[in-house]
Amino acid sequence: MENSSESEKKIEEERPMHCDFEGICKNKAYREVYPSLMGGKHRGRGWNYLCRKHYFQEQKIYKGKLPSADID
């Protein structure tokens, strides 16, 4: 029998990530972004998943300095 934490981990891996831009977008996530690493007024923002459209939109706002990682 599997451990409950192992089964929860499998469920999370199977579930596709979705964009959480302002709670209105349900597209598949393209990048995981970390605005908190920028410091300053963005310090408490944590991290987000963004679809391709919203990722490039945010990159323009932050002038290409938005820390991010690919989702594999």
Q: Is the pLDDT at 7 greater than 60, yes or no?
A: no
Chain segment 15-56, per-residue pLDDT in tens: 668 888 887 888 898 888 887 777 776 666 667 888 899 889
- What pLDDT, on the 0 to 100 scale, is given for residue 46? 66
Instruction: State how far the Cα of 18 lies from the Cα of 29, in Å rounded to an integer.
Output: 5
Instruction: State how far the Cα of 53 lies from the Cα of 26, in Å rounded to an integer.
Output: 12
- What pLDDT, on the 0 to 100 scale, is given for residue 63? 85
- What pLDDT, on the 0 to 100 scale, is given for residue 58? 86
Instruction: State how far the Cα of 25 lies from the Cα of 17, in Å rounded to an integer.
Output: 12
Residue with tokens 């963005």: 42
Domain boundaries in the chain?
16-70
